Every structure is written in structure tokens, then in C-alpha cells.
Amino acid sequence: MTPASRKRFAVAAAAVAGALTLMINPAGATASHKDRPDKLIPIRVLSINDLHGNLEPPTGSSGRIADETGTIIDGVGGAAYLATYVKQFRNRDTVLVAAGDLIGASPLISAAYHDEPTIQFLDNLELATSSAGNHEFDEGFDELERIMEGKCHPVDGCSPAGKWKGSDFEFIAANVIETKKNKTALAPYYVERINGEKVGFIGLVTQTTPSIVTSSGIAGLEFTEEVAAANATSRLLTQKGIKAQVVLVHEGDQVTPNQSPDACPVIPGLGSRIATGVDSEIDLIISGHSHQAYICKATAPDGQQRYYTQGSSFGRVLTQIDFQISKDSGDIVRSSVAVDNHVVRRTVTPDPETVAFVDLWKARSAGVANKPIGSITGDLPNAATPSGEIPLGNLIADAQLEGSRTGGNAQIALMNPGGIRQGITFANSPANEGDGVVTYGEAFAVQPFNNLMQVVTLTGAQLKTVLEQQWVGGPNNQAFTKILQPSSNFTYTYSASGAWGSRVSNIKIDGVAVTPAQSIRVAANNFLVGGGDAFLAFRDGTDLWSGPLDIDAFAAYLGAHSPVAPPVANHITVIP
């Protein structure tokens, strides 16, 4: 797939799972008397992660970050500025890589054409490879393959640019297995030759992916434990004589806030587990997923230190990693590794070619984005009340209920809070002149996943289980509390201190108490119905009905009820 004229080359297609043999090898090289200056080969790795199709400069908190002094600054990120930084720091020794979620959950400028514009931008930057992220699977594995291989979208057809040619790079993941074929669904690694030396990049995606994407799109795939997959792939690379090894993993840690992107304020979690657990032969770990910026050192199993990094999200940080490879051993000299996280400030001159490219796609999507679909009487922020309710979430749930009554016979609706990506303000832009007009582009930015609305029948007892699954501590291993947003006709009470399984009580629909045995038609997006966000009780639902896209239901509701007032978040009662 990569043009033959390019120096880099991808690995042959996915390796058969379980076919790797164990080899014992020394960890990263250390400088010695043999490593004369003419025997040390300079390499530079530039990396990004979690771009999420942000071709235009991100706004609000998404365009804000702590600088090197820990001071929060505005005006960071955006494709044209990121391109300037990449070109500034690229030299003849450089490879550009990424750690996943480059597409998916994208603004309309990219999502309107299934993220083809973002992939083209990354090709223009000469991205060599990226680990897959969970959002690369948002539209299913078949769509991810189409993005890499080419052809126009099977439903929406070709974009204004014509037939899609595919990407010049491959997404890689050593821990995504096609169960029927017992092999990796994507190439497990990628090898770059720089100055005559080979560097192997091992791809990993969070093993929690099945709980955070739509299950139907990844049917037949298994997302295995990351450390074991990395170690097996590392052994294969070593067998091939490739000792300079870097992990690109779409999993990371949270941090204490407002810290320099060059500091290491991580709160050890899933990312640290991987960074310390993968084989000592692996020299660097570049992470993603948690949208944080940090530069850390992790202790490998052999006691040696190695760098563990992440570069925020939305193009706000470009990570630069410089090191040397010993020409004698072919391995990275650990003592030579130097890392810097560059905040992508918009004070630099934006890359002219990228400016023109973004303007072109902005114009192509403008007709869709600027179409008015309704109006509101006040701000609808994406902020939770003490009970966990989000007024915008209540409004979305009301829209989903209305859009699922005819045909689906929905009685209530529930919306996942993670699917609400931003709020809607009364005067979002000067063009609105403070009149509360909501455009399709604004609505799409709120819920950009193009999920289908679905309805299933749950018993009252099953519905209670769904609600109990909002909290950590249950059998589904929920990572953190996620309060589902209820439609206005649905109320219940929860105990803030109650034990898991007995928190929820007083469940009512239209003021009438729900009994354990009664059947209830519950509307939700297909992500939730498939058990997403660890709400596995949804999978017990019966009589599945599928309806409109969630964004279409939201747009129709705004059009039918404008001007819409912000709902009062009084559907959930909290007791001690």
C-alpha cells in the first residue's frame, strides 16, 4: 500500500496468532568502547495521538493546555499548526508515527466524509504508521479496512474529491485477533528503515475496546491482553534481527492537572501497567487514549529505565524523541534517548498547504454544517449536576424517545454521557447574532458518532440492573461512574452510599412505579444496546428494533419543538 518510492516499508500481513516462539535476548544497548561516533546512528521519532479529525483549530477547553511552566494557555492545536511543527522538527533522520484515535468522534469537516479528509492530511504529513485506537473501529472493522485500502463509502458513495484511494500508511495492532482465522486482523507491527538501520513499531489498542464501541462492527474480533501480545511480537521482531523496538499503544494514564507536558504527573493505571510490563527488549512506549501529555520513565522487567510518553490530543502536542542506534548491535542506546513534548501554539505561521487543504474541506462541508435545524432559549452546557444529570443529555434522551416511538414503541430513553462531546451555546458564533439558532454542524459536534437509534424490551428487573451498572464495583468491572441521561418521563432514586446492586429504587415511568416483571421498551443508541460502556444488561433485551441515526433524531426534535428551553435536571433523586 505504501508507495514503492518511499524508503519505509510495512510488515507483511498479519502474523498467525500463537505462532511465535520464545527467545531470550538482552535488553536495550548501552554505550561502550565499540560505539565510536561513526558507529552511532541518529534517529528522530515524532509522534501524535488522539487527533480525532480536528483539522480546524479546536475550540474551548479542547484548544487549551498547560505549557512547559504549568500555565494554562489557549490557542493550541489545529492541523495547519501541527503541520508547521512537524515540518520544523523533521530532518533526514525522522519518522512520524501515531498512537491511535486519529479518526472517529471527529468534527463534521472530517466526519461528513467518513474521515477521508483527515487520512489525506496525515498522508500529506507522511505519517508512517499508527496503532489502531478504539475510535478507529467506530464504524466497524470493514470501514477501517476501506479507509486503508480504498473505494468509496458503500452507502454514501464518493466524496467531492472523487474515488477514495486508501491510506499510504497502515493501522497496526498486535492484540486484535480474527477468531475464525486465528490471526491478527491488522498487521501487528511496522518496520521503518532510517539511515540504514531498522526500527520496529509494535501496535496495540486498549483491550477494553469491545466495551466502548458498537459490538456489531467488531463481530469476530478478539481484543487480547496488551502485554502478552506486545511480548510475542517483540520476540518475532528479534528473530528477524530487529532489536530497536518501540510500542505504539492506544492506552494511557490520567494525570494530576495543570502540569507541564514535559513532566510525569501520571496516576499509575492501565497505561503504566503496560509500560512496565512489556518485554525489556522494547526500548520506548508511546501511548494515547487518555488525552494527557506526559514524559515518564518506566522500569522494565529487567530493572532498566525506558521512556513512556503521551502527547495530549487534538493536535495540541507533538512529541519529539531523539536517540542513537548502535551500528554494531542494531539496538537503541538507552542513554542517548531524549524526549520533548512541544505544545503546538498558534503563534507560528500555519502551514500554507494545510491551510488551503482545510479551507477546501471546510467549504465542501459548509452546506451541511451551516444548515439551521432549530433554536434554543438558553445555553445547553455539557456539565453534570450533582446527581449526574446533564440537561443537554435529558434533551437528547427526549429526542431519542420521540424518534423511537413510531415503529419502536419506545416508552423511555437513556443516553450515555460519554456520547455527549460538547455543549451548545445560545450565541455560538457572531453569525447567530445571539438568536439561539442551532445548526446541523453544532448538533453534530454534540454527538458525532452516527449511532443508530434502537429499542429493546427489558423487564423492570433488567432495567434496574442497567441502572445499577452505572457505578463501579459490579461484575462488569465498570471503570468509573457513568450516569445515564434519562428522558423526561423517567425518574428514579439512588443512594450515594448504597452497595452495588442495591443503590437504585423508586423507578417510575410517567409517574407510575415500575415492577420487576413488567416489560418496558427502552430506546438507546446501538452502542449502549450492544453493551457499550460496560452496560451489559442491555444485551438481555429482546425484540430489537432499529430506527434513525441519533443525530437525525436530535435534529428532527429541535426542528419540531423550537425554540427549545433547557430541561430541568430533576429526574434523578439522590439520597445519602
pLDDT at residue number 215: 86
Using the predicted structure, report yes or no on whether residue 483 has a pLDDT greater than 80: yes
Least Cα distance to 520 among 413, 403, 397, 411 occurs for 411
Instruction: Tell me what the mean pLDDT of segment 304-309 comes to.
Output: 98
pLDDT at residue number 430: 44
Report how far residue 85's alpha carbon sits from residue 90's, in angstroms, rounded to the nearest whole number.
Answer: 8
Using the predicted structure, report yes or no on whether residue 11 has a pLDDT greater than 50: no
Percentage of the residues of the chain whose pLDDT score is greater than 70: 92
Using the predicted structure, report yes or no on whether residue 165 has a pLDDT greater than 60: yes
Grid cell digits, residue 431: 453569525
Report how far residue 186's alpha carbon sits from residue 174's, in angstroms, rounded to the nearest whole number.
Answer: 7
Report the chain's mean pLDDT, rounded to a whole number: 92
240 Cβ neighbours under 8 A, 6+ residues apart: none
pLDDT at residue number 27: 54
Instruction: Tell me what the mean pLDDT of segment 36-59 comes to.
Output: 92
Grid cell digits, residue 316: 495540541
- For residue 2, name the pLDDT band (cuts at 50, 70, 90): very low
Weakest-pLDDT range from 12-26, 236-250, 461-475, 492-506 = 12-26
Containing 335, the helix (H) or strand (E) segment is none
pLDDT at residue number 15: 39
More confident residue, 480 or 437: 437
Global pTM value? 0.84
Instruction: Tell me what the mean pLDDT of segment 437-455 comes to.
Output: 92
Using the predicted structure, report yes or no on whether residue 429 has a pLDDT greater than 80: no
Contact criterion met (CB below 8 Å) for 446 and 517? no
- For residue 19, name the pLDDT band (cuts at 50, 70, 90): very low
- For residue 1, name the pLDDT band (cuts at 50, 70, 90): very low
pLDDT at residue number 34: 52
Report how far residue 284's alpha carbon sits from residue 424's, in angstroms, rounded to the nearest whole number.
Answer: 41
Report how far residue 228's alpha carbon sits from residue 300's, in angstroms, rounded to the nearest whole number.
Answer: 14
3-state secondary structure of 197: strand
* Adjacent-strand bridge partners of 200: 191, 245
Using the predicted structure, report yes or no on whether residue 241 has a pLDDT greater than 70: yes
pLDDT at residue number 24: 29
pLDDT at residue number 478: 74
Strand 189-194 and strand 197-205: the pairing is: antiparallel
- For residue 476, name the pLDDT band (cuts at 50, 70, 90): confident
Report how far residue 164's alpha carbon sits from residue 112's, in angstroms, rounded to the nearest whole number.
Answer: 14
Using the predicted structure, report yes or no on whether residue 33 has a pLDDT greater than 50: no
Using the predicted structure, report yes or no on whether residue 49 has a pLDDT greater than 90: yes
Contact criterion met (CB below 8 Å) for 168 and 123? yes
Least Cα distance to 544 among 215, 281, 233, 201 occurs for 215
- DSSP, residue by residue, 528-571: HHTTGGG-GGGGG-EEEEEEEEHHHHHHHHHHHHPSBPPPP--S
Report how far residue 561's alpha carbon sits from residue 553's, in angstroms, rounded to the nearest whole number.
Answer: 12
pLDDT in tens, 89-100: 999 999 999 999
Report how far residue 182's alpha carbon sits from residue 472's, in angstroms, rounded to the nearest whole number.
Answer: 33
Instruction: Tell me what the mean pLDDT of segment 468-480 comes to.
Output: 84
Using the predicted structure, report yes or no on whether residue 25 has a pLDDT greater than 50: no
pLDDT in tens, 254-272: 999 999 999 999 999 999 9
Q: How far apart are the first and last CA of the chain?
A: 59
Using the predicted structure, report yes or no on whether residue 193 has a pLDDT greater than 50: yes
- For residue 424, name the pLDDT band (cuts at 50, 70, 90): very high
Residue with cell 461484575: 475
- For residue 475, name the pLDDT band (cuts at 50, 70, 90): confident
Contact criterion met (CB below 8 Å) for 356 and 121? no
Using the predicted structure, report yes or no on whether residue 23 has a pLDDT greater than 80: no
Contact criterion met (CB below 8 Å) for 203 and 187? yes
Using the predicted structure, report yes or no on whether residue 88 has a pLDDT greater than 60: yes
Strand 542-549 and strand 452-459: the pairing is: antiparallel
Least Cα distance to 329 among 298, 286, 283, 275 occurs for 283
Q: What are phi and psi of 442, to 5 degrees?
A: -65, -45
Grid cell digits, residue 302: 529487567
- DSSP, residue by residue, 24-48: ----SB---TT--GGGEEEEEEEEE
Weakest-pLDDT range from 21-25, 321-325, 448-452 = 21-25
* Adjacent-strand bridge partners of 76: 345
- For residue 166, name the pLDDT band (cuts at 50, 70, 90): very high
Using the predicted structure, report yes or no on whether residue 539 has a pLDDT greater than 60: yes
Containing 84, the helix (H) or strand (E) segment is helix 79-89
Grid cell digits, residue 29: 544497548
pLDDT at residue number 37: 65
- DSSP, residue by residue, 265-278: -EE-SHHHHHHHHS
Report how far residue 263's alpha carbon sits from residue 265's, in angstroms, rounded to the nearest whole number.
Answer: 6
pLDDT at residue number 214: 85
pLDDT at residue number 35: 53
3-state secondary structure of 151: coil
Using the predicted structure, report yes or no on whether residue 7 has a pLDDT greater than 90: no
Weakest-pLDDT range from 21-30, 64-73, 168-177, 439-448 = 21-30
3-state secondary structure of 159: strand
Grid cell digits, residue 78: 489545529
Using the predicted structure, report yes or no on whether residue 6 has a pLDDT greater than 50: no
